[in-house]
Structure 1
């Protein structure tokens, strides 16, 4: 299997402009970041450029729920344009600091690696970052984001990240996560979209013309559901309310209270780019897997010994035209459901075996269901933070396109492999 794609330099391919040029043909409609999947860790990796004079490329693992961008201080400290943010400043208060560092002078932020659960207190810093944008002509140009806030933290947090990654890019609902900072800088709505795939995908922040970058218009196939939070306040993570589960159109017999978020933030369905596969609380998973197995048998599937980490696997040996059960996440009504087709429900683990890509998250998993990366691939998801709504398409293969069909600049994608 190929190693993590090597990122080529961005700036020889694109015309660099600073966003202080805010009029004319280079007025951004949206910001677009190409994303690649690391096959060894199943992590989604993007790249930005940091610094005003010597723009250094920096690879970052995408964290949909992350509160901010954090990066290795050893990499970022070489930037002459980087400045540390004082404690008790307005920018520090925006970041919800974890105290102060450096003799109580510098704003401190707690950064965490969600894969290893290691955490460290870093320093809030600001620097110039460069990103590609979509202009009126739909050509790739690059805009500089001045005074972008991020956490400069310890290299010990890099353990467990994809090869070459120097930090993590947070897309959560916070004041200093990437979507909010892009909105503040460029003046468009607080919304962004992700379109992941097993190869190339994209993160897009801004207005809807990004839909035209796909080879097929998917706007009419999008459905919408509210983003929810606990009664204690707005969550920086993204939850939706799944009312029931269906397999092949048949509703599972589940206690609906198992699916609902309570006032303490327990339950609900969370969307994650950190979990490689969807996980369910044990009580839900048991009912789900037993029902899926029954429907699989009725459709002619042959069960085989499961292969870790999966709990249910089927044979594909000597079989042609296999059909597998569909899965529906029923949302606010029976008319609004997120259908998960074979490409997102099954994982091919060998030439002879495919496994159900849903895992037992344990009895103590906080969310009832965590929708993971495999189930998100080739599904376009639009997070509108202003209206607290999620737009989604289900599998783009149903309209004969995919997330890897995003058309970047004419000359090259920054992530040419």
Structure 2
């Protein structure tokens, strides 16, 4: 509970440990900070660049919306005069919910020290767990007024995790770790909010670029979201005027017994109640869309999965309606299906499809939330993937049936998030989203860095 004495105490510990943060150009506290996001064309992972340590060194990290921690590889020459390990019994170890490990078998270095604590973290791309050492150092991020990136802000005493080089398995080339944005006390949104006090809200907004050659943007705090269309950089579009809102839900870890409820997960879940294709409902067993105490069911938003995955029964119903509605969209002109192209199952001849400002002219898809007048529009730019000069595929994957090893029935993946602005208000447990910014003639890459 947010009002519990333990939560208040831990929040105060974060605040006092980070309260000396200052900007590089003034002593005023920023209301918002900003990081660039780029798309790695090879892995389809989304990367950001964070300045870490003293002297400040730019570090490349994979963005993980549901990740608990910021963790990096400290074993490959990490050197910083402001680095400190998290010692057993310290406030940083308590905040990270870490366990004490008294002896390091190797010579002392960042990530390997005696009488320090270690935390359970995850490489969510590979799917494996790691046990890095808790660490404290200075980070630097640029401020923003919502229209462009400003001066750098230095935040000392930032808590992160020091991993090993073998923990980087399957991460994009050049990535040194992962940036977790989940609902945790040591995740970046929470630490930044604690560092700057009440005016710096515990929220962030993410806008993934569709173009690997241009940067999207990640906002922390509360600010306008002003983008400049590529065709006219003097024009300003405040995209938050397009926001629609829905509740962020809680989901739980799966347990060995269906009668037990697992621990709360830190990821971001939403309640999808139905899916429409050209306003036609997709037949779905509603129990698949509900959250259950077993942790199975419901819907999650993720930046690590490149495409939206659907439970098998949902996927089959969805594709059936999508193909039926394709004839409506094309005015009864047949769109020929072709052989599957991995990882996709349903692919089409590109020459049979028209193009518009919103991508390929295919049926519109609507994710309908529990407040039924609120839905997320997915147009051809986010529903289709061009896999060759001749073939485009439906960018949704069959995840398989629900089992004890799977959790959510729908994972909304990164391709469907591209060129959409999503704001996660952690304090209010609320998601704000725009649907495609292409409707406003804006892309995520139209923010000024």
TM-score (norm 2): 0.82
Structure 2 stretches lacking a partner, 5+ long: 1-19, 105-113, 229-235, 253-260
Q: Is residue 392 of structure 1 aligned with residue 433 of structure 2?
A: yes
Q: 1:348 aligns with which of 386, 395, 403?
A: 386
Please list the CA deviations of residues 369-407 of structure 1 after superposition, one character each: whole Å capped at 9, or x if unmatched: 000000000000000001000000000000111100011
Q: Aligned equivalents of 1:194 and 1:272: distance in 2?
A: 11
- Indicate conservation of the 8 Å contact 1:25/1:137, yes or no: no
Aligned pair 1:337/2:367, yes or no?
no
Tell me the CA shift for residue 24 of structure 1: 5.9
Following superposition, the deviation at residue 114 of structure 1 comes to: 1.5
Aligned equivalents of 1:190 and 1:25: distance in 2? 21
Deviation at 1:86, TM superposition (A): 1.3
**2:246 match:** 225
Change (3 A) 1:162 1:101: farther
- Whether the aligned pair in 2 keeps the contact of 1:135 and 1:141 (CA below 8 Å) is no
Shift in Å, 1:98:
4.6
- 1:207 has 2:222 as partner: yes
Q: Cα deviation per residue 1:283-336 (whole Å; 9 max; x = unaligned)?
A: 211111122122224433221111111010111126544621111110023310
Which ranges in structure 1 are unaligned for 5 or more consecutive residues? 1-17, 409-417
Pick one of 287, 295, 313 that aligns with 1:257: 287
For 2:128, which of 113, 118, 132 is the aligned residue?
118
Q: 1:190 aligns with which of 198, 202, 227?
A: 202
CA 1:407/1:138 → structure 2, altered by over 3 Å: closer, same or farther? Answer: closer
C-alpha distance in structure 2 between counterparts of 1:197 and 1:159, whole Å: 24
Question: Is 1:42 aligned to residue 44 of structure 2?
Answer: yes
In 2, the alpha carbon distance for the partners of 1:143 and 1:172 equals 22
Name the SS of the counterpart of 1:263 in structure 2.
Answer: coil
Give the Cα–Cα distance (whole angstroms) in 1 for the partners of residues 146 and 33 of structure 2: 12
Q: 1:136 to 1:348 in 2, by over 3 A?
A: closer
Aligned mate of 1:166, from 176, 192, 207: 176
SS of 2:22's partner is: coil
Question: Does the 8 Å CA contact 1:34/1:46 hold for their aligned counterparts?
Answer: yes
Q: Report Cα offsets for 1:124-180 as digits up to 9, x if no partner.
A: 000001111115995510011101111101110112111100000000010001101
Distance 1:98 1:266 in 2: 29
Post-superposition CA distance 1:23-61 (Å, at most 9, x none): 968541211000100000000000111112x21111000
SS in 1 for 2:121: strand
Q: For the residues of structure 2 that align with 1:242 and 1:253, how far apart are their CA atoms?
A: 13
> How does 1:12-31 map onto structure 2 within 5 Å?
19-20=21-22, 27-31=29-33
- Tell which deviates more after alignment, 96-105 or 364-373: 96-105
SS in 2 for 1:74: coil
Within the candidate set 151, 167, 189, 1:141 is matched to: 151
Structure 1 Cα separation of the partners of residues 82 and 27 of structure 2: 28
Contact 2:246 2:371 in 1 (8 A): no
The 8 Å contact of residues 100 and 115 in structure 2, kept in 1 or not, is answered as no
CA distance in 1, matches of 2:321, 2:298: 21
TM-score (norm 1): 0.88
SS in 1 for 2:35: strand
Task: Return the alpha-carbon distance in structure 2 between the equivalents of residues 76 and 217 of structure 1.
Answer: 43
Number of matched pairs: 389
Residues 109/352 of structure 1: CA separation in 2 closer, same or farther (3 Å cut): same
> Quick check: 1:196–1:378 contact (8 Å CA) kept in 2?
yes
Structure 2 contact 136–158 (Cα < 8 Å) conserved: yes
Structure 1 residues 399, 169: closer, same or farther in 2, change over 3 A? same
- Residue equivalent to 1:14: none
Residue of structure 1 equivalent to 2:93:
92
Distance in structure 2 (CA, Å) of the matches to 1:256 and 1:318: 35
Deviates more, 1:228-237 or 1:264-273: 228-237
Residues 254-292 of structure 1 deviation map (CA, whole Å, 9 limit, x = unaligned): 111111111222111100000000001112111111221
CA distance in 2, matches of 1:250, 1:316: 24
Alpha-carbon distance, 1:223 to partner: 0.2
CA distance in 2, matches of 1:243, 1:318: 32
Distance in 2 between the 1:148 and 1:45 partners? 20
Q: Hey, what's the Cα distance between the residues in 1 that align with 2:37 and 2:147?
A: 22
Within-5 A mapping of 1:183-332: 183-187=193-197, 188-199=200-211, 200-209=215-224, 211-214=225-228, 215-230=236-251, 234-298=264-328, 299=330, 300=333, 301-317=335-351, 320-321=354-355, 323-332=361-370
